[in-house]
Amino acid sequence: MTYPPGNPYGQPQGNPYGGQPQPYGQPQPYGQPQPYGQPQGNPYGGQPHGQPQPPYGGQPHGGPPQPPYGGQPPQPVPGGAPSGVPSTLDPHTLPDDDNVNPYVFCIALNGEWFMSKGAMLAYYGTIQFDAVTEYSSVQAWVASRFSSPVYIQDWVVAQGHGKLLIGDRGFDLNSYDLDDGNLTIKASNLCAFSRQLELKQSIVPGFVTLIGTGKFIASSNGPVIFVEPPFRADPDALLGWADCPAPSVHHDAQWMTQNVRGMISGALGRASGEERQYDFTGQGTILLQSSEVAREDPAVLRLVESQTQLLTNSQAGALGQRLIARAQQQ
Amino acid sequence: MALLTAHRRVLHADLQGDRIRAASGSMVAVEGNVDFKSSGMGGGGGMRAALKRAVAGESLSLMDCAGHGRVYLALDAMDVLVVDLTGDTLTVESEHILAHTEQLRLDVQFAGLRGMTSGQGLATTTVTGHGQVAIVSEGPVMALEVAPGADLVVDPDAYVGSRGQLSMNLVSGVSWKSVVGEGTGEPFSLRFTGSGLVLVQSAER
């Protein structure tokens, strides 16, 4: 079942509360159907990308309708019937691999999917959740697909048959099709991906890279914005990027020198956070979310900790003292 | 008769000389001549309900709104859903109740083990009678149908309420392999069997 525009929440049938199913405004796909960059040489395997096709299906699949909050005045419901009542959903009326509403995605599970811990809202059928750590020792394909020791604790393998509903903090969910490509995404915003995809840890901390052909589901706080490089992004608003060969950290010297306070804190080695930006050059697409609210990612601690191996013992001691001082300040 | 109408995240309660009960502190605006007063202990359900709530740890603080006019109610910018009851029973987590009309009766039902895992107290609230009840949820509510042969498993944190002839069991999503080492992140779930509807919100608490 697809996600036809004009009928956002499935069939308006069998309404249990006798009211009118009131769709959340008109479905509006995110922006323009913008292919992720140009087809270009494939860095994995040397072969060109083939036909000039939109490598990832072009845009978020079944782009959920955006509730135009404030845009459309609430419609008075004739007859005083309750509004906003959802229609009943059952295993047959739930969509296959599509959005139920902007915040919930339904996976028609038949086999295995990788899932972020705690993303499950509900399911029909027989589905078992196993930690990736246990799974990888039993089945070799899991270990070969999931090559990130830092994130392995936060993921499970959902296995079985049925309809699986997932959500993430009430954020907007979108599914993306990856066609022999690569996409790097903020680890805390990745909800699920199909077993055909390969997950690797990105060099940029807090991000993971998906490689191959398959489907994945990611959340965003607000609609996703697609931008083409050259572009500089705030690290908190950055959701991910596709095909960009060179993300680099940019320190905005102007920000630091344009006011006295910035200069002082810059000289002391402190940072306000705003001068640090990610700089993207080359071909590709950058994904942004419209909010800077970040979730605490437990993997970042493990990631930074593993990096401290680079330090000598005396350096590690100095860092430890600085961290203690910082913790006591707060 | 008082009329409740949901407008996305705000509930409009039109009063014509009668009264409704609403969650304390949920009033955002009022038109007309409406009096507010605390319903007292037990959310107006009387001394027995108050006692049961105290034992069960199910907290519910309601106020009476009476008069002529329109009251605008909202809670933490959560989505509002109005459910019409015609003599049947709706089971709902007390923290999700925004308002209900006067004719409905609220009671406490002991939920057993479930409350221990989700940290929502040992009990859940039942709403019975003829009238309207407004419930709030993080994101829109999905009404998922349970029928024989189509059992539903729900994350306790996403569960809002249920209606119909349902029995709820606590299931452990943890396989024997998970007992050693880390959990799967879905340690306990609620399995619903029978026939009825389960209301699920789109975010976890």
pLDDT grade for A105, boundaries at 50, 70 and 90 = very high
**8 A C-beta contact, residue A134 and residue A153:** no
Partner B, chain A 22-41, Cβ-Cβ below 8 Å: 24
A26-40, A204-218, B141-155: range with lowest mean pLDDT: A26-40
**8 A C-beta contact, residue B54 and residue B107:** no
Q: Is the per-residue pLDDT at A246 higher than 50?
A: yes
- At A30 the pLDDT is 41
In chain B, what residues touch A100 (CB-CB under 8 Å)?
A: 142
Distance CA B185, CA B204 (A): 13
Cβ neighbours for B179, distance < 8 A, ≥ 6 positions apart? none
Burial A301-311 (b: 16+ CB within 10 A, else e): eebeeeeeeee
Cβ neighbours for A256, distance < 8 A, ≥ 6 positions apart? A262, A263, A265, A266, A275
Q: Is the per-residue pLDDT at A54 higher than 90?
A: no
Taking an 8 Å cut-off on Cβ atoms, the answer to whether A123 and B140 are in contact is no
Partner B, chain A 41-70, Cβ-Cβ below 8 Å: 67, 69
Distance CA B13, CA B102 (A): 12
Q: Is the per-residue pLDDT at A8 higher than 80?
A: no
Best mutation target, A13, A123, A138, A295, to test chain B (most B CBs within 10 A): A123
- Residue B8: which of A17, A74, A104 has the nearest Cβ? A74
Does A80 contact chain B (CB < 8 Å)?
yes
Taking an 8 Å cut-off on Cβ atoms, the answer to whether A89 and B155 are in contact is no
Q: Is the per-residue pLDDT at A325 higher than 90?
A: no
- At B146 the pLDDT is 93
Taking an 8 Å cut-off on Cβ atoms, the answer to whether B145 and A153 are in contact is no
- At B177 the pLDDT is 41
Q: Is the per-residue pLDDT at B121 higher than 60?
A: no
Does A18 contact chain B (CB < 8 Å)?
yes
Evaluate whether residue A155 is within a structural domain: yes
Q: Average pLDDT in the B108-137 region?
A: 72
Report residue B164 as tokens. 């119909």
Q: What is the third-level CATH fold of B3-200?
A: Double-stranded beta-helix (3.60.160)
3-class secondary-structure state, position A273: coil
Q: Is the per-residue pLDDT at B130 higher than 50?
A: yes
Q: Average pLDDT in the A285-298 region?
A: 76
Evaluate whether residue A167 is within a structural domain: yes
**8 A C-beta contact, residue B66 and residue B35:** yes
- At B82 the pLDDT is 92
Q: Is the per-residue pLDDT at A251 higher than 80?
A: no
- At A139 the pLDDT is 77
- At A192 the pLDDT is 94
The residue ranges of every structural domain in chain B are: 3-200
**Cα B150 versus chain centre, distance:** 24
**8 A C-beta contact, residue B201 and residue B136:** no
Burial grade of A62 (CB within 10 A; 0-12, 13-18, 19 or more): buried
User: Mean pLDDT in chain A?
Assistant: 71
One-letter identity of residue B1: M
Q: Average pLDDT in the A103-121 region?
A: 90
A19-33, A106-120, B112-126: range with lowest mean pLDDT: A19-33
Taking an 8 Å cut-off on Cβ atoms, the answer to whether A133 and B182 are in contact is yes
**What is the domain range of residue A169?**
88-221+293-308
Q: Average pLDDT in the A287-308 region?
A: 76
What interface predicted TM-score (ipTM) does this complex get?
0.81
Q: Average pLDDT in the A17-33 region?
A: 40
User: Strand locations in chain A, DSSP E?
Assistant: 88-89, 98-101, 104-116, 120-131, 146-147, 155-166, 172-186, 190-194, 198-201, 207-220, 224-227, 231-233, 238-242, 246-251, 276-281, 285-289
pLDDT grade for A108, boundaries at 50, 70 and 90 = very high
Is the bond preceding A67 in cis, omega lying within 30 degrees of 0? no
- At A165 the pLDDT is 93
Q: Is the per-residue pLDDT at B71 higher than 60?
A: yes
Evaluate whether residue A187 is within a structural domain: yes
What pLDDT digit, counting tens, does each position of A64-98 carry?
444 433 333 334 333 333 334 567 888 888 999 99
Report residue B100 as tokens. 């209900």
What pLDDT digit, counting tens, does each position of A131-171 carry?
787 776 777 788 778 877 778 878 888 889 999 999 888 88
CB atoms under 10 Å from CB of A54, counted, come to 15
- At A231 the pLDDT is 85
Residue of A nearest to B79 (CA): A84
Cβ neighbours for B171, distance < 8 A, ≥ 6 positions apart? B153, B188, B189, B190, B191
φ, ψ for residue B105, nearest 5 deg: -115, 130
3-class secondary-structure state, position B151: coil
More confident of the two residues A295 and B36:
B36
- Residue B138: which of A77, A122, A170 has the nearest Cβ? A170
